[in-house]
Amino acid sequence: MEKLAPAKFAAKIRCCANDLQDHGVDRLGSLYDLTAHRLVRYAVTVTKNMSDAEDAIQATMVRIAMKPKILATAQQPWAYLLRVARNEALRILQKRKPLQIFAQCRQLWARDSEVVEDNDQAQVIRQALKRLPTNQSEVVVLKIWEDMTFAEIASVLDESPNTVASRYRYALQKLDGYLRPLAREDINV
């Protein structure tokens, strides 16, 4: 995944939105290619599973395709897009609420028996992020992987920057707790 500077990335999104506005839905592909991988990475932290995250991305893209002007004129197009994706992800979770208890039980069981066979660092971190509460893991993803400021994250999550900052601090403490034992194991091996 090519990592663009935030300003350049925002400019590209705006360009795609303008293109979408001028030429219609057929130009949605370029916006999808530009943002889908990063959006799904964030959506997974909200939905905790891939298929719901993909559904959220589809709903996001359709929503944007219907009203591209809002994205084209948004002050922070990437933050806006993330917010739409988050809302869609939460909507999907809301629809699946009756099945959620079962899913949570399954997740807890999976967590206990979770063995990280793959020693890949990204995989380990992803697993550790999954163990965090959603509101903390999404702050970490937005702060570190999306390189956003606390103010920008606050606008995506509709929270105050102070709340976001404290969630980030708690998340790092917990991640530290999860990952440090793994680091020790590694040293001992």
Partner 1 sequence: MFEFEDHNSLEEQLMQASADSAIPLRGGLRQQVLDAARQARSRKIYTRSLVALGSFFLTVTMFFLIHDSEKSHRVASDRTPGWPKTIYVKGSQVLGISTAAAHRPEAIKTDWNSVQATLKQSGEWGLVDAVVRFRNERAGTIEQIFHRGE
Q: How many Cβ atoms are within 10 Å of 1's Cβ, its own excluded?
A: 7
75/175 with CB nearer partner 1: 175
Report CA torsion sign: 67, 50, 7, 80. positive
- Nearest-CA neighbor of 131 among 112, 151, 154, 145? 112
103/125 with CB nearer partner 1: 125
35/155 with CB nearer partner 1: 35
Give least dist CB 6 to partner 1, A.
14
Give least dist CB 189 to partner 1, A.
10
44/75 with CB nearer partner 1: 44
Give least dist CB 136 to partner 1, A.
13
Residue 24 Rama label (left phi>0; alpha psi -120 to 50; beta): left
Give least dist CB 106 to partner 1, A.
20
Q: Give the separation between CA 132 and CA 172, rounded to whole angstroms.
A: 10
Q: Give the separation between CA 186 and CA 90, rounded to whole angstroms.
A: 37
32/80 with CB nearer partner 1: 32
Q: What are phi and psi of 43, to 5 degrees?
A: -60, -35
- Residue 91 is which amino acid? R
Which residues contact partner 1 by CB under 8 A?
A: 1, 3, 24-26, 28-29, 32-33, 36-37, 40-41, 44, 50, 54, 57-58, 61-62, 65-66, 119-122, 124-126, 140, 144-145, 172-173, 175-176, 179-180, 182-183, 186
